[in-house]
Chains A and B, each alone.
Chain A
Amino acid sequence: MDFALNDDHRMLLDTARAFLEKEIDLTKVLQNTKSTVADTGYRENWKKVTDLGWPGLIIPEDFGGSGLTALDLVMVAQEIGRVIAPIPFLGTLAGTWTLLKAGSPTQKAAYLPKIAGKGATMALAVCDANGNDEGPRSDTKAAKAGSSYRLNGSKSFVVDAATADTLVVAAEHEGRRGLFLVDPKADGVRIEILPWRDVTREVCHVTFSNAQAELLSEDDSTIWPWVRDRLLLLLAADSAGGLDKVLQMSVEHAKERVAFGKPIGAFQSIKHGLANTFARSEATKVAVMYAGWALAEDNEKGPISAAMAKSYATDGYRAATAQNIQVFGAIAITWQMKNHLYFKRARSNGELFGSSSSHRRRVLALAGRELSGNADSARLH
């Protein structure tokens, strides 16, 4: 047993932090209240991280990637969350994981090297208009047309669709939900970037009218849960990094801002609140590392630990961003301060791929099954 980061993890983390702190600049967004994701440097930033090899982090070396694990990925994802880096990381990873799990050898060979080597981007369209990501649903239907398929319908809350070179789309086919590869530039595909409050993420609505598609998998019932667990980890890690950062901002401010003759951090109402958030931040990091480890090891605890990490991390992140605004005072509600970007990213992380309470429901069901099946281990461990 060893919970500490090894040297490789440290290096990955330090490199990511140094790079992001130098390269990510949100000034342009903060200068204009009309800013959208287009002003955040989404594509330019992606070019930079492509040079670092990030698109291929989890792609096996055989396909030109670095072959890293979910746990390794946590190191980078936390740092991205710390500076809320606007890049199509989530979409590309979602597509990559789906390809890794569902793709034929030919499909993997066709897509993965382009992602790893050239920074080709992807997006995964699974949610319906209500934000529901479990299948099968009839919002998008696939029909066979010769050797390929045609898609009709729409998908909502598709992260990174507008930047994506390839879309993976979940669509109903013969009573099951299948997965399909779609070229976003093909006829019949319309992508609309949503006025998502969190401008550090590109979130889109995608409509298909007779759009041509290539079959990836006829049935996603074992694929989607596997991919979802990894997406939950990614959002949890992003939140852990953001939470740590807003706490740090709050603490620094509380040390400097003077009111009633002393730094506001000397008042217990402020310092106790921040001490609680510090504990939450430390605990969140451990929960995220554990989930990363469990998924990397294909441990049976993977699914439950990912759901725990997502709900625990995003809830803590949301609370910390609200506290952060309270500690900074009214100045923090102005557009030119960064505080609101974190506040919005935290909401965004909380709602994407299922709310905290929906994941808690799953956690309880899984825990109940595990504990009643193994009462002895519950007591001893």
Chain B
Amino acid sequence: MDFDLPAEDDPRRSGVRAWLKEHPNPTADELLDVGYEVPHWPPPWGLSADPEFQLIISQELQRAGVERFGNLLSATNLGPALLAHGTEEAKEKYLRRMLTGKDRWCQLQSEPSAGSDLAALRSTAVRDGDHYVINGQKIWSNAGSSDYGMMVVRTDPNASKHAGLSLIIVDMKSPGITARPIDIMSQAPKDLVVRMYETFFDNVRVPTSNLIGKEGEGWRLTQQVLQAERMMILQHMQKPTARDLVMGLVQTGRIDDPSLTDEAASLYIEGEVIRLMNLRAMSDQLNARRPGPEAAIIKMMGAPHDQHLNDFAKRLEGQAGLLPGGDAFEGKHTHLAVSWDAAFWDSPTLTLRAGSQELMLNVIAERIIGLPRERDPSAQGNWSENQRALRAEK
């Protein structure tokens, strides 16, 4: 057993540093071609880099002040889905532009009446020659600023709930699409990673060749994408951590305040433990072991941890914390992409997005520790008939 992280003198750093010295301001294509945009991808896109090397590359890019061009969503979920299940033409057409940030992508999954129970979605795609005609409504995506969307739709309403779904690429400039921004509680969209939209589809025509995988494979592929998103969310490191909290307490001289000590220390310890869980997941991947239950556990532990952390930091501000623009440790954490204030007002979403807390707990209880599964009475039989029966019951 060995818990060491890649050292400062790790030989793998020198190549990255040398390249960055020669390319202090790399273009998107240069960064992609050298493999640093998506190092975890196989060649020619990436370097099939193991997690340690990925970490090294991220650290060196951060140190050199170089930001990646594609967004995280593309690099970790949408891109890999396309890479694994897309047609050759689709890969040729979309991947480079996606990864260099020339095209922006969104994920069209949730609907107003299908959130945690995503498979209950109602958007339909009906075949018409070599096109699908899409009708319905999606929500919680950055549709308004995207060129393409990866959408899960019901292609077979007479199949069962999960078997009737398909995954398809939608050109967001297609006629019939309306994206409306949603005003969210944090009132600070510029601080958020993405702005949220609700999107309406009115007889939108999409070529059948835009299908990813086969018709009816939508649920399985969406699950894979969601799995990746859970990993992505936990790897997202731009937000304040418990280490930042402790640093802030030191810098503001409040580290010795006895009324704060115990809670701050509990948060610090929990943050460190979650970090170790993350490293263990990384170690499993690194040593080609079947991943353990960490991903679900980390998401399940991490979300309430971050909420507690942000709540604690907000309380440090007292009444002033209710005024916009304030910060628990103002000006002290310049490396953070998201301020403590913005992180706090955004924090209620942490236990909702990419699998609600209740869903994560169900996953752990049912799939990992083997407690009885919740039965979904709507999962069996013909989806349309079930819906009709439900409506009649009402």
Contact = CB atoms under 8 A, between A and B. Distances in A.
A254 B366 CA distance: 12
B42 interface: no
B interface majority secondary structure: helix
Interface stretch (A50-58, A59-67, A77-85, A362-370): A362-370
Contacts of B374: 266, 268
Contact of A272 (B255, B261, B274, B361): B361
Contact of B4 (A1, A276, A284, A287): A1
A2 B270 CA distance: 21
Given A3-B284, A276-B361, A293-B1, A282 B250 contact: no
B118 interface: no
A251 B63 CA distance: 47
B276 A287 contact: yes
B246 interface: yes
B1 A278 contact: no
B362 interface: yes
Contact of A283 (B5, B268, B301): B301
A308 B269 contact: yes
A311 B266 CA distance: 9
Give the one of A286, A289, A365 with max B CB within 10 A.
Answer: A286
Interface in A235-260: 251, 254-255
B216 to A, nearest CB: 30
B52 A360 contact: no
Nearest to B294: A282
Interface stretch (A87-95, A148-156, A329-337, A373-381): A373-381
Contacts of B297: 278-279, 282-283
B358 A272 contact: yes
A360 B266 CA distance: 7
Nearest to A72: B1
B1 A289 contact: yes
A274 B371 contact: yes
Contacts of B289: 4
A308 B273 contact: yes
Interface string B2-21: 11111000000000000000
Contacts of A361: 261-262, 265
B371 A363 contact: no
Contacts of A375: 247
A278 B269 CA distance: 18
A371 B243 contact: yes
A193 B297 CA distance: 43
A6 B1 CA distance: 7
A289 B279 CA distance: 13
B1 A254 contact: no
Nearest to A250: B369
B3 A290 contact: yes
B301 A279 contact: yes
Interface range for A: 35 or more
A33 interface: no
A312 to B, nearest CB: 5
Contacts of B2: 1-2, 293
A370 to B, nearest CB: 9
A262 B52 contact: no
B268 A271 contact: no
A357 B262 contact: yes
Given A255-B372, A364-B246, A378-B243, A294 B262 contact: no
B286 interface: yes
Given A283-B274, A283-B277, A275 B361 contact: yes
A11 interface: no
A266 B369 CA distance: 12
Contacts of A308: 269, 272-273
Given A3-B279, A361-B265, A368 B370 contact: no
A268 B362 contact: yes
Interface in B52-92: 52, 59, 62-63
Given A271-B362, A308-B269, A381 B5 contact: yes
A275 B1 contact: no
B283 A271 contact: no
B352 to A, nearest CB: 16
30 contacts: A1-B2, A1-B52, A1-B282, A1-B283, A2-B2, A6-B1, A251-B369, A251-B371, A254-B371, A263-B371, A263-B372, A265-B372, A266-B374, A268-B374, A271-B361, A272-B365, A274-B365, A275-B364, A278-B365, A278-B369, A279-B301, A283-B277, A287-B272, A287-B276, A289-B1, A290-B276, A293-B1, A308-B269, A364-B265, A367-B268
Minimum-distance CB pairs A-B, first 7: A360-B265, A271-B365, A266-B372, A275-B364, A364-B265, A3-B283, A265-B371
Interface of B: 1-6, 52, 59, 62-63, 243-244, 246-247, 249-251, 255, 261-262, 264-266, 268-270, 272-274, 276-277, 279-280, 282-284, 286-287, 289, 292-294, 297, 300-301, 335, 358, 361-362, 364-366, 368-372, 374
